[in-house]
A and B are shown apart, each in its own frame.
Chain A
């Protein structure tokens, strides 16, 4: 994304906050005018003191009274401006994080997998944090900075045109230096942000797998890999940090030049009697105040470069294409109530177009059928299920639910009618009850307990310290794999859709428990179109249709008996 485009996007992001920003601008103007009035009052005060025995005390009193009033206005405006800036920034990043999380639910899951969870985490947390810092600085210092420059120029020209010219002539130096430095720095910041993303990915992965790493005593190897990355990052980091930190001293030096210039020319005018000492004092503090915003602006610019690089990464994700809900060329069928007749025609799918992961999948089943999918690991079973759920979109072919092409049903509506239990369990770090009622927050406690009982999870839940109110730790870390699986089944039991997908749903449950919940499973599947990926013969044998998959293709299909008679791959599998 081009920088210009990123800036445009940031402005767009700020649009709803415009009233607040305008208000902040008004306070900024008041703040600046008050700040600039103080040196004038000070200068006039100095002009009241001419020499020994010659001081205008009455004038001094009036000046100091004004001084006090201006000062109070200054303080109040400054405070209100800061409050408004905080509000604008914090609520903007608040909304941005909300949008990022929302986006995670609307992009294809393949996008999430491809971008990497660690990297996305870094975009949502660190990058947004940096953007927040950048925006805050931008508001608080850019506004006042620019206003101070403009205000000072006006005040100066009104007071004395000649010295003002000195200041104006020296100004481009400061601008030139600042822009030169920030250009140099941006490159390094960009590199730094991408390295940081890479490192965060590595940290994410390693921290999550620390148990495994220990099992292999591979701590040292991981540390070595990390240290290498760390060293590389430190090098880039040093460059970015040093270049960006040269801005202040360099502009401060230019500032010093302006100060000296004003001093010399002001004094020469003073010798000619065309400038009072008080006015010179006033100009000198202007010279200070005038260049200070350049300092700040250039500081802000470097910080902002960093923020912009981060914003770019944030927008990049926000711009990812969403999943298509209704496929092009198809008419939407609004929330159909499905019975579960399914026909699949010439389905094909691949991640990269060079190698087909799944192809030529065709079959037809009536509602209530049980379909078992068997085949060696890696034959495409899971991919097929991802297609059924529309997590993936097929490259070719179509799935028809009750004769309706899946592409014309909203995903939300479709998934409401398909229940799934996967081998890989996922639970929230929330209470057991909330996990069972997942997706159905309106469920009553009775319903939850009922579902748990059906899934044979009630007994172990009751034995947990706080029963249904036990809070699961991250990834359900305080439960065994089997217990997690039982919770996932209970979660499904709460609300049974017409179509079921059970992908190795009982692989982590011991057979004694499984036997106990088999009845439950049978009631669960009764009258529901069910896809079962399993190894157990009993489950497979009773299926109405067995799909035998190999290398991404259905090579045999039929009932247990017909397939056995065929003495093909299925028969081989059974007899291995």
Chain B
């Protein structure tokens, strides 16, 4: 929580003004019972109408001043709270964007989304209420006590007994519900996950007629959520009646003692009325205070989740000073020296002792079975992860010597899963190529065999894609992702099994287009199709994380058993390709 306080730093003034004016308002409120005592003792008892009018006017004036103070306070509290949440939202988003793959896996997308939305809302609400009430309420409570002392020390003693008792109750109940609110929030995360899955799996769920099962699964968590909410709210519900009873018990004491003091002539009945009024002011403020504690509770639970996310340690160091873009003309593009890698928490190694060297302009094919480590290899090359052993060198230097962003800026990547964003085609293509002009984009589209797709849309580059590009077919999405990578105009391109949704003809044309860029582009083609990689200058055959063969198609045919098997499995099925 403390770590979030810095987001209020730019709103120091607001944070001071809001409670200050709230306290001013409270101060004027504290005078009201005394003015009323004047009306009773000097007005009614002494039959003096002037005093009544005068004091009546004072009451109205106190109200007006209070209103002004309060409006000022509300505005600044809102301003600070919103500035605060805006800042948190900004940084949290940036933090999530900076997460390494490992962290994204660990944290889980849906819980990150809850943090960005619900949690921030609840913290904002908390800050707003704290600024408005946290000082005001105790001020009124203690203020009322002090005013009671000025009336009569003996009569005020009950105030000193009751106030600590009230605080103990409020704080005890509040803090016993904090961990419960945390668990409720966690449950809300699982509800979010359910909804997300039901949306993304709509077709499969229908195909398997599994809506009932999904609903039953959801019901389990939804029921838990209901139960937890009921229990927790049940505990919180004790707070109001408990404070009500305590304050009124104190009020009974005030009345009884008041009777005695009036009998002894120590107090007037007007002053007893003032004491009663102060006691009721305490009750009213306590109701607000307990509500405030509930809000603060929720806010604290959310805040600790947010700061936990903000404080997640980076798993990848980013202290490289070199800029990869400056080195991209190096003739040596990439080398792996005895590289091994295992995913965090995984039992086995995904890559084992892999070594190879790639020079500029080469086309490198990477082939291997499902789970053989092909994608892992590309992840190391993009430095999504660091090698567990051995060294990866890019453009002749250890990859860790570069800044992370420059590595990724110098390497274009087409992932397995064709992911696009809502927005225009142009915005999508400009993802990594900000500043590229339309000619360049059309050229990238042409190379990716995607020109036709965009040309056929009525707004061309301004054609708007819906969320995740849902209004395009799988193949169209894939070609756009290839165009997006080519638009970056880099010297290294990785195609991670990214032509799987393309028919052979389109795939072949695409590879021909890439070959035409040979003098400036080093291409890594990860594939399971021999045909996609067989013309490569170098083919790396991966099997169960080991590089079991490196060489050209012909060389591998004669010396690599696994490669031969792969080729056989495919040629048996397809003498030619469609």
Contact = CB atoms under 8 A, between A and B. Distances in A.
Nearest to A260: B59
A256 B241 contact: no
Interface stretch (A149-157, A339-347, A444-452, A512-520): A512-520
B229 interface: yes
Given A97-B222, A260-B60, A267-B40, A481 B215 contact: no
26 contacts: A42-B251, A53-B263, A55-B260, A68-B252, A72-B245, A78-B244, A104-B195, A121-B196, A206-B96, A214-B101, A218-B431, A221-B434, A234-B85, A237-B82, A242-B78, A249-B74, A267-B39, A267-B52, A284-B277, A378-B476, A382-B473, A412-B209, A426-B201, A473-B108, A508-B500, A515-B573
A428 B97 contact: no
A378 B74 contact: no
A271 B244 contact: no
Contacts of A320: none
A52 B263 contact: yes
Contacts of B90: 223, 226-227, 230
A350 interface: no
A429 B71 CA distance: 50
The 9 closest A-B pairs by CB, nearest first: A377-B475, A482-B370, A256-B63, A439-B208, A216-B432, A52-B265, A249-B70, A260-B59, A105-B211
Contact of A82 (B240, B269, B368): B240
Contacts of A423: 474, 500-501
A207 interface: yes
A411 interface: yes
Given A376-B505, A483-B370, A201 B467 contact: yes
B171 interface: no
Contact of A105 (B188, B198, B217, B248): B198
A49 interface: yes
Interface in A195-235: 196, 200-219, 221-223, 226-227, 230-231, 233-234
B431 A216 contact: yes
A395 interface: no
A81 B458 CA distance: 61
Nearest to B231: A86
A118 to B, nearest CB: 6
A76 B485 CA distance: 68
A121 B195 contact: yes
B116 A203 contact: yes
Interface in A258-287: 259-261, 263-264, 267-268, 270-271, 277, 280-281, 284-285
A389 interface: yes
B150 interface: no
Contacts of B204: 422, 426, 438
Interface stretch (A9-17, A124-132, A325-333, A401-409): A124-132
Contacts of B199: 104, 112, 117, 120-121
Interface string B61-100: 0111011001100110111011101100110011011110
Nearest to A389: B207
A512 B569 contact: yes
Given A125-B192, A260-B59, A216 B413 contact: yes
B117 A122 contact: yes
Contact of A210 (B97, B270, B500, B573): B97
B397 interface: no
A42 B219 CA distance: 51
A576 B528 contact: no
A42 B276 contact: yes
B371 A483 contact: yes
A493 B44 CA distance: 93
Interface stretch (A360-368, A523-531, A533-541): A533-541
Interface string B483-507: 0110010000000010011111110
Given A102-B215, A377-B502, A508-B497, A50 B210 contact: no
Contacts of B474: 377, 382, 423-424, 504
A161 interface: no
Given A49-B258, A211-B104, A288-B280, 20 more contacts: A52-B264, A54-B263, A55-B260, A57-B259, A75-B245, A90-B233, A98-B215, A211-B101, A221-B430, A230-B86, A234-B82, A256-B32, A261-B56, A381-B473, A415-B207, A428-B197, A481-B370, A574-B576, A574-B578, A576-B508
